[in-house]
Structure 1
Amino acid sequence: MEHNYHVPVMLKECIEGLNINPSGVYVDVTFGGGGHSREILKNLGKDGVLIAFDQDPDAQRNKIDDPRFKFVDQNFGFLKNNLRLLGYKQVDGILADLGVSSHQFNEPSRGFSTRFDADLDMRMDKHRPLTAAVVLNTYAEDKLHKIFGIYGEVKNAKSLAATIVASRVNKSIVTLADFKAIIAAHIPKGKENKYMAQVFQALRIEVNAEIDVLESFLEQTEAVLKPGGRLVVMSYHSLEDRPVKSFIAKGKFRGDVEKDFFGNEQKPFKSITRKAVVANEEELSINSRARSAKLRIGERL
């Protein structure tokens, strides 16, 4: 089954970043095809534990048959509570690979890909009521403008939003074909794929509340990691990298580092990597997904 999933990006760098203690407890919060999880298990001894999170029903089929492995069918935004339910207050390391698996893009019915005609869904968790179609058909123009501009960095976000709002008056936008027909005039010639990828990224982030969930997850890692424990996060676009970088550097997403009465910085992590780690040339030549990946590592103080 795993071959349908993506090759894990920067696998060696992720494992090294976790600095694995063979008898420790580790969490892979983005299980997917299980590539990173299998590698973590190889580095654990018989009393080590690996807990994997994934809300995607397709990922559950890749569960690993190993007594040291525990699977949590949840979004990583619920990290702390689920670890408590399993009896773990603190763990030795947490890994998050924030990329959408290529498997999800290749599954037409999920509505993530710009290559297939399908209903505009894009939910990672099918129990959530909000779909891409709901966003396109009900959101106010200024809200759509903001989503495309901020989450997709779409250049003509304002006129795109206006067109969507004007055309849905006559007919609901249900499928990808509907959507493409409506916005055809806005798609720059020769850059169709890149433009649609940006528009889809914006919708996917909104539908799954990805930035809110990411910030909530990062805040929870502070309580969950033991002193000396490692947080290893790989992101694929600046919207995700920014909060990760800020949180590891300052322990918060906006403003300056808190200081105590004596002027000492009060921050939960020490940054292990001065700059983001990026894939080497050899990996880039065999895995195009690695091109935009940025890896950051923090150690709990």
Structure 2
Amino acid sequence: MSEAYHIPVLLKESIDGMSIKPNGVYVDVTFGGGGHSKEILSRLGEHGKLYAFDQDHDAQQNLINDSRFTLIQANFRFIKRFLKLEGVKEVDAILGDFGVSSHQFDEGERGFSIRFDAELDMRMDQQTGISASELINTYSEEQLSQLLWQYGEIKMSRKLAKAIVEERSVKPIQSTSELNALLTPFFPPTKVNKFLAQVYQAIRIEVNQEMEALKEFLLQTPDLIKKGGRLSLISYHSLEDRLVKRFIRDGKFSGAPEKDFYGNMLVPFKKTGKLITPAQTEMRQNNRSRSAKLRIGEKL
């Protein structure tokens, strides 16, 4: 694995949280640079097995040559279906490191970053779905405003949506530089990059249906993980973390947890320990780990 591709965040903590048994079956649903997967394999015996998911074709360059390892090129929202094709019905633990890899941010032509002039793409799987450019040029003003508010937590979302719609009526917005130039005047000069990053986050989440995919994935985990097995999940923004926290606590994303006749909560997982965040040394070494939050659940 190239360290430049993606430095694994909370590596020891997240793998420790999986409570790995040498001959168990494990899943890394966000393979990326392979850092977490390599650490899992280092703890497995000869009969252990690791399945990894990644929808980004670039992840193939980090393929691990190990008979105990299988890379499945698919979105983790289809975890049950693809594991079934591999003959797997139950696993001992699942790891997820959500968000965007360093590689995706650093590959300028992918359009994930405000730093490079590139076509607005932002698709994690470049062979499916609509690109960021298509989204920006086709969504209604109301839809744009809603996603900037919901996924970017931008208070002036209506103003930005209006500006986008007015601009594209003259000429389509197709590159990062065009979008940056249009929106920069709306932000305080000292905070332009911060606000643009929030805009890009909102568009990226919508393009890749990240919240829907995360929900679909989480809802499948109780059927896949054995009793006493673990969920070890790393989130990077409050929207993801909120879903993970609620699901581990309540087994659902809204409303009160289900209860039995006697008032006992019917939840599939219990949280193990407290929320884990990176140490100061890790944050100094890897700036992108700053917002990481690790939550671990154990199957009841």
Q: Please tell me the TM-score bracket, short chain as reference.
A: over 0.9
TM-score by length of 1: 0.98
- After TM superposition, the structure 1 stretch with the greater mean CA deviation from structure 2, 283-292 or 228-237, is 283-292
Structure 2 counterpart of 1:257, which letter?
A: P
Q: Distance in 1 between matches of 2:12 and 2:184?
A: 42
- The one-letter code of the counterpart of 1:123 is R
SS of residue in 2 equivalent to 1:172: coil
In structure 2, how many angstroms separate the alpha carbons of the residues matched to 1:285 and 1:172? 40
Letter in 2 for 1:242: R
Aligned to 2:248: 248
Paired position in structure 2 for 1:124: 124
Which secondary structure does the structure 1 equivalent of 2:17 belong to?
A: helix
- State TM-score, norm by structure 2: 0.98
* In 1, Cα distance between equivalents of 2:72 and 2:206: 24
Aligned-partner SS, 2:190: coil
1:177 equivalent to 2:172? Answer no
- Cross-structure match for 2:59: 59
Give the 3-state SS of the residue equivalent to 2:290 in structure 1. Answer: helix
Q: Quick one: distance in 2 between partners of 1:269 and 1:152? A: 30
Secondary structure of 2:95 counterpart: strand
Q: Which moved more, 1:84-93 or 1:3-12?
A: 3-12
Matched residue SS, 1:44: coil
Q: What is the deviation of 1:188? A: 2.0
CA distance in 1, matches of 2:105, 2:147: 21
- C-alpha separation in 1, matches of 2:12 and 2:89: 28
Task: Provide the residue aligned with 1:219 in structure 2.
Answer: 219
Match of 1:145 in 2: 145
The answer to whether the Cα contact below 8 Å between 2:33 and 2:62 also exists between their aligned partners in 1 is yes
Work out the percentage of aligned pairs sharing the same amino acid: 54
Q: Secondary structure at the match of 2:71?
A: strand
In structure 2, what is the equivalent of residue 295 of structure 1? 294
- Separation (CA, whole Å) in 2 of partners of 1:211 and 1:161: 21
CA contact (8 A) 2:28 2:51 kept: yes
* Cα offset, 1:187, TM superposition: 2.4
* Whole-angstrom distance in 2 between the partners of 1:215 and 1:184: 33
- Which structure 1 residue ranges, 4+ long, deviate > 6 Å from structure 2? none
Match of 2:24 in 1: 24
Q: Residues 63-115 of structure 1: CA distance to partner in whole angstroms, max 9, x if unpaired?
A: 10001001100010000010100001000000000031111111011110111
Unaligned 5+ runs, structure 2? none
Distance 2:98 2:216 in 1: 14
Partner of 1:195: 195
Secondary structure at the counterpart of residue 180 of structure 1: helix
TM-superposed deviation, 1:7: 1.4
Counterpart CA distance in 2 for 1:3 and 1:125 is 22
Instruction: Quote the Cα distance in structure 1 between the aligned partners of 2:282 and 2:177.
Output: 35
CA distance in 1, matches of 2:112, 2:280: 29
> What's the RMSD between the two structures over aligned residues?
0.9
Count, aligned residues: 300
AA in 2 matched with 1:251 = G
The answer to whether the 8 Å contact 2:229/2:299 transfers is: yes
For each residue in 1:195-244, what CA deviation from the matched residue of structure 2 results, as whole angstroms up to 9, or x when unmatched? 11100000000000000000000001111101111000000000100000
Question: 2:285 & 2:4 partners in 1: Cα distance?
Answer: 16
Please say if 1:239 is aligned against 2:239: yes
Code of the aligned partner of 1:134: E
Q: Is the 8 A contact 2:184 2:192 kept in 1?
A: no
**1:179 CA drift (Å):** 1.2
The answer for the alignment partner of 1:95 in structure 2 is 95
Look up the SS of the partner of 1:277 in the other structure: coil
Deviations 1:24-44 (A, max 9, x none): 000000000000000000000
Tell me the residue number matched to 1:33.
Answer: 33
Q: Which residue of 2 aligns with 1:112?
A: 112
- Residue equivalent to 1:264: 264
Q: What residue is the counterpart of 2:158 in the other structure? A: 158
